[in-house]
Amino acid sequence: MPNPNLKELSFDSVHDTQEVYRILLHAMSRPGLVCELGERINRIDLPVGASKAAAAIALTLLDGEVAFAVQMQGHEAWAETIRRLTYSKLVDFTAADYVFVEGIEEVSLINQLQDQLKIGTLSSPEKSATVFIRVEGFAKSSIQAQGCSLKLTGPGIKTETNCYVAGLSLLWIESRARLVEEYPLGIDLIFYTEQGEIIAIPRTTVVEGVAEAWHM
Question: Does any domain span residue 163?
Answer: no
Per-residue confidence (pLDDT) for residue 172, from 0 to 100: 96
CATH number of 89's domain: 3.40.50.11310
Contact criterion met (CB below 8 Å) for 150 and 32: yes
Per-residue confidence (pLDDT) for residue 66, from 0 to 100: 98
Angle, CA of 69, 72 and 73, to the nearest 5°:
145
Question: Does any domain span residue 145?
Answer: no
Give the domain range for residue 67. Answer: 4-136+169-203
Question: Does any domain span residue 21?
Answer: yes
Question: Does any domain span residue 209?
Answer: no
Which residue ranges in the chain fall short of pLDDT 70?
A: 1-9, 141-146, 212-216
Per-residue confidence (pLDDT) for residue 6, from 0 to 100: 46
Question: Does any domain span residue 113?
Answer: yes
Per-residue confidence (pLDDT) for residue 77, from 0 to 100: 84
Per-residue confidence (pLDDT) for residue 9, from 0 to 100: 58
Question: Does any domain span residue 79?
Answer: yes
Contact criterion met (CB below 8 Å) for 176 and 200: no
Q: What are phi and psi of 135, to 5 degrees?
A: -125, 175
Question: Does any domain span residue 146?
Answer: no
Question: Does any domain span residue 81?
Answer: yes
CA distance 95 to 99: 10
Provide the domain count of the chain: 1
> CB neighbours of 65 closer than 8 A, spacing ≥ 6?
none
Q: What are phi and psi of 215, to 5 degrees?
A: -115, 120
